Structure 1
Amino acid sequence: MTKRKLFKAFVELTGHPLSSSLLKTFTRSSISRPLIRPFSRYYQINEQEMARPIHTYDSLQSFFTRELKQGCRVIDESPNSLVSPVDGIVNGMGTITNGQEFYIKNHTYRLAEIFGDAKLSKPYENGFYYILYLSPSHYHHFHYPLDGKIVSRYALGNVSYPVNDLGLRYGDTPFASNYRLISELKTKFGKLAIVKVGALNVNSVQIQNASRIAVKGQDFGHFSFGSTVILFLAHRPNFQPLIQNRAEVKVGESIGMWF
């Protein structure tokens, strides 16, 4: 298998238990270390931003989950701003209408399917949402988009399909069955939910900060591999988005504002 095909397999691998186990074992092993530099070149990763030199990573997964140098991402400190929790591409955004179906790469999903329960999703009806896709080239840590208090954190699903353009065409309802970790914040602007959808392998969402206090811009976890984050905001008539669909965003960049 060529390196090109191997990297493609990392991105598109399904959540089959055996495949997932093999992937985890290989990428966490030093055997994968020779693939780090080719992986970096193939995805044109900005090595100048990395907290450590590339030769210090001992496995492909340690490189994929790399941290950045302090100061590489500037956090918008405006008290009324919502900032991007990740580096990624906006794959959908807008007002959540009553009974809305979210159309994502040839599939539709209702709000209750994403949260796993109609009662849990109800606070976000008539609110606002952003879908943020992380490609293999992106920094894969996620940060808090707003100050607040964690009022709930729960996991759903037990199978992860790849959350990318090809993977979202596989399976019946990928978001409904993918492993996902949902963090809900109580903020001065109402409730906010951060839905972290795992990809490639089962349970690929890693929480590093278990504090109940959310600080805007604070790193609180990462994805082991490819991923998508969905932000849901409770309804507030004075909220306005500051970016457009398909925009590329970075951690800390202001993506919305309460006026």
Structure 2
Amino acid sequence: MKFRFSQDVPMFPHYSQLGHVVNDRRFVSWYVKQFRTTSQAGASVSGGSSNSQGNAFLVPGATVATLLMLGVLHARRLYDDKKVEEAREKGIEFEFQPDAKATFMRMLPLRSISRVWGFLTNLEVPVWLRPHVYRAWARAFHSNLEEAALPLNDYASLRDFFVRTLREGCRPVDPDPYSLVSPVDGTILRFGELKGAGAMIEQVKGFSYSVSSLLGASPLLQMIAEKNTQDESINSEQESTQREKSKKSWWRISLAYPKVRETVSECPMKGLYYCVIYLKPGDYHRIHSPVDWNVLVRRHFSGRLFPLNERATRTIRNLYVENERVVLEGLWQQGFMAIAAIGATNIGSIELFIEPELQTNRPRKKLLHSEPPEERVYEPEGVGVMLNKGDEVAAFNMGSTVVLVFQAPPSKPSKNNDASEFRFSIRRGDRIRVGEALGRWHDS
């Protein structure tokens, strides 16, 4: 018995956003014709040898394989994201609930899979095929091709297209000197104020992780916690313990930056805030500086590469802490500043523009999460790497997540009733773009 399926009934409902690409018969027939022409041309130039004929099929074949892999990995994500958005509109908030899929994900070689994906996306796409591939991607993931700085034919590979720059003026930076702007295009997942030495960031309702586990052993953050502890008059025994602990971890940075310790001790008490922003595959993939600041330290944590979509955040424990990430840490006019760029499945490679030689997701015999992160202290002229608001900092190969942790004037007015407190100007679930204000404060 032969089974026949109607073309009007989709086998996979979550492929509906990609359907118009597959169902266009004229495009398919045109593609096959061009594919044959390319293959025959390659064979004639080489004298018809079997070696050259294989090479003629290699690039188009790899491109098709890349697109198929892309569909398998992301079509389900589109379907899940749609369900999440519908639930959010109804006021339903998902709670943390591990499932069998989360357990299965831990057994998969996601780092190796991501390296294979990186290899495929670096293959050169035939010039005649580039506009069709990139437009298909843009339709599926809602990318705005009109913002691209170059014509589509100029992007030699999928990776070049993913990390493309934008036309000048597409992302104006908020000119207000008392504003902190978004470093990426994305969706606001969480934000708020961190209170207390053991402050926690909520991953999803029902599960949180500590700031120190995300950023690592941060001498700057420890000194700030010590300063705030002193200002709040905590008992002397606890105060001396924190000071002794801070002395050991601060030793390396204090040699490079003798003025930093003095700066931290003299600044008034500040509040500590955080903001989590998720980048979808179709978003602009570059990370920009949210303020004028000095980057003092870089830490690279080798880790897993779980997906970072909404489903993963509510089913995988310590998602952001376990995943591969690069943390930049330093100081700005209001105190401490840190940016954590977190890798995900197929996004193991995080390109850091201020340190091009840094390589992430490198092959390793065994991944030990107890290993300390690879750390580098930036020391040009003793002030670190200076970045201005809006400067390019890094890039992801696809979508991912960025976590900001920063100091700003506390949310509660001080005793003299000044109005200098920092206030977020965003809501959970908002779509935001590079250069738009995350929050503002007033000069006291």
TM-score calculated relative to the size of structure 2: 0.54
- Match for residue 122 of structure 2 among 19, 22, 28: 28
Amino acid at match of 1:236: P
Match of 1:242 in 2: 425
Q: 1:66 aligns with which of 147, 164, 188?
A: 164
User: 1:202 offset after TM fit, Å?
Assistant: 6.3
Deviation at 1:245, TM superposition (A): 1.7
- Partner Cα distance (1:17, 1:219) in 2: 26
1-side partners of 2:316 and 2:203: how far apart?
A: 13
Instruction: Look up the match of 1:185.
Output: 330
Q: Is 1:85–1:217's contact at 8 Å kept on the other side of the alignment? A: yes
Gaps of 5+ in 2: 1-11, 20-67, 78-104, 229-270, 356-383, 411-420
Alpha carbons of structure 1 residues 15 and 167: separation in structure 2 relative to 1, 3 Å? farther
Aligned-pair CA distance for 1:9: 4.1
Q: Which moved more, 1:157-166 or 1:86-95?
A: 157-166
Contact 1:27 1:61 in 2 (8 A): yes
> Separation in 2 of the partners of 1:258 and 1:169?
33
Partner of 1:103: 202
Is the aligned partner of 1:141 residue 2:296? no
Q: Distance in 2 between matches of 1:104 and 1:27?
A: 30
Paired amino acid for 2:403:
I
Q: Whose strand proportion is higher, 1 or 2?
A: 1
Percent identical: 28
1:258 has 2:415 as partner: no
| 1:30 counterpart SS class | coil
Q: Are residue 153 (structure 1) and residue 216 (structure 2) matched? A: no
- Which structure has the greater CA radius of gyration? 2
Q: Is the 8 A contact 2:344 2:400 kept in 1?
A: yes
Q: Where does residue 177 of structure 2 map in the other structure?
A: 79
Q: Deviations over 1:109-152 (max 9, x none)?
A: 11121112375644479511110110011100000000011111
Structure 1 SS opposite 2:310: coil
Unpaired runs of 5+ in structure 1?
none
1:154 Cα offset (Å): 1.2
Equivalent residues in 2 for 1:99-248 (5 A)? 99-105=198-204, 107-117=207-217, 121-122=221-222, 123=224, 126-169=271-314, 171-201=316-346, 203-210=348-355, 212-237=385-410, 238-248=421-431
The amino acid across from 1:221 in the alignment is A
CA contact 1:195–1:230 (8 Å) conserved in 2: yes
Q: How many correspondences in the alignment? A: 259
The verdict on how the C-alpha distance between 1:113 and 1:120 changes in structure 2, with shifts beyond 3 A counting, is farther
Residue 175 of structure 1 aligns with an amino acid whose one-letter code is Y
Q: Map Cα deviations across residues 165-199 of structure 1 (whole Å, 9 max, x no partner).
A: 13334544221211111111311111111111111
- Describe the shift of the 1:59–1:27 C-alpha distance in structure 2 as closer, same or farther (beyond 3 A): same
- Return the alpha-carbon distance in structure 2 between the equivalents of residues 138 and 75 of structure 1: 18
Q: For residue 197 of structure 1, what is the amino acid of its counterpart?
A: I
1:226, distance to aligned residue in structure 2 (A): 2.0
Question: Aligned partners of 2:407, 2:175: CA distance in 1, in Å?
Answer: 21
Q: Quick check: 1:92–1:245 contact (8 Å CA) kept in 2?
A: yes
State the SS of the aligned residue for 1:78.
Answer: coil
Structure ranking higher on relative contact order (CA contacts 8 Å, 6+ apart): 1
Contact 1:194 1:232 (8 Å CA) reproduced: yes
Cα distance, 1:53 vs. partner?
A: 1.7
Which amino acid in 1 is paired with 2:341?
K
Distance 2:426 2:347 in 1: 32
Secondary structure at the aligned position of 1:91 is classed as: strand
CA RMSD of aligned residues (A): 2.7
Distance across 2 between alignment mates of 1:139 and 1:243? 19
Superposed CA deviations along residues 194-216 of structure 1, whole A, max 9, x for unmatched, are 11111124642111134801110
Point out the more displaced range, 163-172 or 183-192: 163-172
**Partner SS state of residue 127, structure 1:** strand
CA distance in 2, matches of 1:138, 1:249: 10
Whole-angstrom CA distance in 2 between matches of 1:225 and 1:194 = 18
Query: Could you tell me which of 145, 148, 154 is aligned with 1:56?
Result: 154
Which range moved further: 84-93 or 28-37?
28-37
Q: CA deviation at 1:15?
A: 5.9
CA contact (8 A) 1:115 1:121 kept: no
User: CA contact under 8 A between 2:114 and 2:348: conserved in structure 1?
Assistant: no
- Per mean C-alpha deviation after superposition, the further-off stretch among 2-11 and 229-238 is 2-11
